[in-house]
């Protein structure tokens, strides 16, 4: 059930086309790895490996893949302008090495795997070899947890808006619960009389964790607030703005903002913009509020801050002063730029440039 829930949730995350898609896909990939991890332990605990030995040999490589997508998921949520790069593939080196070492077991046929499985459970390996292998695996996983905690703590030191602060708290809870499960599993693996419990209790607690994560996701979602879907503000009850008209205005508005970049005009106002769109200020205000959940100033500011972030990350613009940059993107003063930037990014433009230099 836990593995199936992981797969279903990962499919949902991969299908989401809005928000932080990179973070969603990394979390989805992490859940797929968790599903494989749970499945392997359940097959071992149930004794089903004797008749279904296909997974035999996969467990060790999976252990070394487990923390990587979680680490990058946290990085994607805590680092502005995060992008996966080719050099990030170096994190997969331990997984690839273990996969190659286990390849004689991983790529065997059905009967050969069955024989290898019986050979392993009937053999009596040196206790020291077992503890060294288990120790390396757990240290590897716990190291990624520590690095991930460090990333979260660094992000929490910045001045954060309410939404970002909620994400940081969510990440901390997520990591703490996983750390507790990992430590519990470690303890069981190092107590000879309790080793057999690990194959049952670890996937059991991971399943509870997965369902708990789904429950928290639903609680934080606005999906089920059905009464608000068709609620219309009294302010716009007499409006003549139709759905078809709204779509046309939105299309024209997007062209003005993204292609003509009219937000760079420091004198841009609601009346000026509505005139360019050939609509009333009342209709434009309604469009921004109901369709984009923004007021005029927030909408314009978001475009300006987006360009500001791009310029701050551009090496060719490293000598530009903050005042010059703020004037170029439409702010009439440096203080207005700093205030808007902190509101959207949780840090000053200077801090943003330093953090991403």
Q: Which of 63, 59, 4 is nearest to 31 (CA)?
A: 4
Question: What per-residue confidence (pLDDT) applies to 230?
Answer: 40
Residue position matching structure tokens 């593995």: 3
Q: Which of 204, 226, 248 is the last residue of a domain?
A: 226
In this structure, the answer to whether residues 90 and 220 fall within a common structural domain is yes
Is 127 in the same domain as 256? no
Domain containing residue 342: CATH number: 1.10.10.60
- Examine the domain organization and report whether 21 and 92 are in the same domain: yes
Measured in degrees and rounded to the nearest 5, phi and psi for residue 214 equal -65, -40
Counted domains in the chain: 2
pLDDT for 226: 39
Residues 222 and 252 reside in one and the same domain: no
Residues 179 and 198 in one domain: yes
Q: 154, 146, 156, 160: which is closest to 355 by C-alpha?
A: 154
Q: Cα–Cα distance between 10 and 140 in angstroms, integer?
A: 24
> Do 163 and 281 sit in the same domain of this protein?
no
Residue reference for tokens 């469009």: 287
Domain region containing 206: 2-226
Residues 221 and 239 in one domain: no
> Which of 166, 201, 226 is the last residue in one of the domains?
226
Chain-centre distance for alpha carbon 263: 30
Do 109 and 20 share a structural domain? yes
pLDDT of residue 283: 85
What does the DSSP assignment read for 131-167?
HHHHHHHHHHHHHHHHHHHHHHHHHHTS---HHHHHH
**195/271 same-domain check:** no
- Helix or strand or coil: residue 175? helix
Long-range contacts of 109-112 (CB under 8 A, 24+ apart): 110/53, 110/54
Residue with tokens 């499960």: 181
User: Between vectors from CA 21 to CA 17 and to CA 24, what angle results, nearest 5°?
Assistant: 110
CA dihedral 290, 296, 297, 300 (to 10 degrees): 100
* CA neighbours closer than 13 Å in the CB half-sphere of residue 264: 12
CATH of the domain at 50: 1.20.1070
- Where does residue 162 rank: exposed (0-12), middle (13-18), buried (19+ CB within 10 A)? exposed
pLDDT of residue 223: 40
- Per-residue pLDDT of the chain in tens (357 residues, 90 and over written 9): 999 999 998 998 888 876 678 888 998 999 999 998 888 888 877 777 777 777 766 777 888 888 999 899 888 877 767 788 889 899 999 988 988 887 777 677 777 777 777 776 665 555 667 678 888 888 998 899 889 888 888 877 766 556 667 777 777 888 888 889 888 888 887 777 777 777 788 888 889 988 888 777 666 654 443 343 344 455 555 666 777 888 888 899 989 998 899 999 888 888 899 899 888 888 888 888 888 888 888 899 999 999 999 898 888 888 888 889 989 999 888 888 888 888 888 888 888 888 887
Triad 39, 94, 10: Cα angle to 5°: 40
Are 75 and 151 contacting, i.e. CB atoms less than 8 angstroms apart?
A: yes
Q: Which of 226, 260, 288 is the last residue of a domain?
A: 226
Q: Say if CB 151 and CB 74 are below 8 A apart.
A: yes
8-state DSSP, 193: G
Q: What is the token pair recorded at 175?
A: 């990591």
Are residues 212 and 254 located together in one domain of the fold? no
Question: What does each C-alpha distance from 295 to 233, 267, 290 come to in angstroms?
Answer: 14, 17, 10
Alpha-carbon distance 193 to 187, whole Å? Answer: 11
One domain for residues 63 and 164: yes
pTM above threshold 0.75: no
Greatest alpha-carbon pair distance for the chain in Å reads: 83
For residues 263 and 222, membership in a common domain is answered with no
CA 124 to chain centroid: 43
């Amino acid at each position: 059930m836990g593995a199936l829930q992981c797969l279903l949730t990962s499919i949902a995350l991969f299908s989401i086309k809005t928000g932080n898609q990179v973070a969603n896909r990394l979390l989805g990939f992490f859940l797929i790895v968790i599903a494989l991890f749970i499945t392997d332990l359940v097959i071992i605990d149930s004794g089903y490996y004797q008749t279904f030995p296909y997974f035999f040999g996969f467990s060790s490589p999976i252990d070394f893949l487990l923390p990587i997508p979680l680490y990058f998921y946290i990085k994607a949520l805590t680092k502005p302008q995060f992008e996966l790069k080719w050099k990030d593939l170096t994190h997969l080196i331990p997984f690839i090495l273990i996969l190659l070492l286990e390849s004689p077991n991983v790529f065997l046929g059905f009967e050969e795997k069955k024989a290898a499985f019986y050979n392993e459970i009937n053999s009596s390996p040196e206790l020291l070899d077992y503890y060294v292998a288990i120790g390396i695996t757990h240290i590897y996983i716990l190291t990624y947890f520590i690095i991930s905690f460090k990333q979260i703590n660094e992000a929490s030191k910045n001045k954060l808006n309410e939404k970002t602060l909620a994400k940081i708290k969510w990440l901390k809870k997520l990591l703490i619960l996983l750390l507790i499960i990992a430590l519990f599993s470690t303890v069981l693996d190092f107590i000879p009389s309790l080793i057999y419990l690990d194959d049952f209790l670890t996937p059991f607690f991971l399943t509870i964790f997965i369902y708990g994560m789904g429950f928290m996701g639903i609680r934080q979602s606005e999906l089920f607030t059905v009464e608000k879907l068709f609620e219309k503000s009294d302010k716009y009850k007499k409006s003549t703005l139709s759905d078809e008209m709204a779509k046309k205005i939105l299309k024209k508005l997007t062209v003005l903002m993204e292609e003509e970049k009219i937000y760079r005009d420091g004198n841009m106002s609601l009346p000026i913009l509505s005139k360019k769109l050939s609509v009333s200020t009342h209709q434009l205000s309604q469009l921004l509020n109901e369709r984009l959940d923004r007021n005029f100033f927030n909408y314009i500011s978001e475009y300006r801050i987006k360009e500001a972030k791009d310029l701050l990350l551009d090496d060719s613009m490293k000598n530009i002063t903050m005042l010059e940059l703020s004037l170029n993107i439409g702010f009439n003063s440096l203080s207005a730029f700093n205030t808007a930037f902190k509101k959207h990014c949780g840090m000053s433009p200077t801090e943003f440039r330093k953090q991403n230099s």
